[in-house]
Amino acid sequence: MASIDFALGVVVGLSIYIWKRYQFKYQLRSLLKSFSPEGDWASSLKPISLVRRELTSNYERIEKLEQQLQIWQELIEQAPVGFLRIDRDNRLLWCNQKARELLKIDRWQSGQVRLLLELVRSYELDRLIEQTRKSQQKQVQEWTFYYTQYVDNLQTSPSAKMSQKIESLAVKGYGIPLPQGKIGIFLLDRQAIVAVSYTH
């Protein structure tokens, strides 16, 4: 009697296992078909082969996207306008060479994530970022960016020290909302336009 109960238990257990395995394979095939519907021939492949194919396909797509991102980043790096990408906590994620020149950012390197306030002291830039984040629409603002220029006086007098000189630059900024609370800022140098308008 005990052996019959044992055999019956084994049969029931195997039946449940086979049924669950069939369900898993069916759900896996359905899931993979929803990602890449390619006809009936795909259903003849084993689930592991389908998973391998899908992973390979996804890897190739990711590789292409990374190449495209690299190309765009190289283009923006060489652009004649400044660009900054700011995260939701107002940290500088990335900026191009022109932005570093315009805003006198000299304590940042690509790959670093630092608070923008540590690198650039500009109330107007902070306000542009916040307005863009709050409205989730493109914002435009013009302002004069003031920065301190340090001048070495040793050439004129050996006993003289470094002196500070306040410089200014007319800037126009465009704030663009990005996904996940990030903000993109494009910066234009308006100094030449302002200088021409003053002479007329």
Q: What is the pLDDT along the chain (200 residues), one digit of tens a residue?
A: 555 555 556 555 666 767 777 777 677 666 656 655 555 545 555 666 767 777 787 777 888 777 777 787 777 787 789 999 999 999 999 999 999 999 988 887 777 788 888 888 899 999 999 999 999 999 999 998 888 766 555 555 555 565 677 788 889 999 999 999 999 999 998 887 776 666 65
Q: Which pair of tokens denotes residue 75? A: 């283009």
Distance CA 56, CA 14 (A): 34
For residue 197, the tally of other CB atoms under 10 A from its CB is: 10
Give the orientation angle of helix 47-77 with respect to helix 2-35, to 10 degrees. Answer: 30
Q: Which pair of tokens denotes residue 105? A: 């950012």
Distance CA 165, CA 147 (A): 8
Provide CB contacts within 8 A for 176, sequence distance 6+.
132, 138, 183, 184, 185, 186
Whole-prediction pTM: 0.62
Q: Which pair of tokens denotes residue 114? A: 């630092």
Q: Which pair of tokens denotes residue 193? A: 């336009």
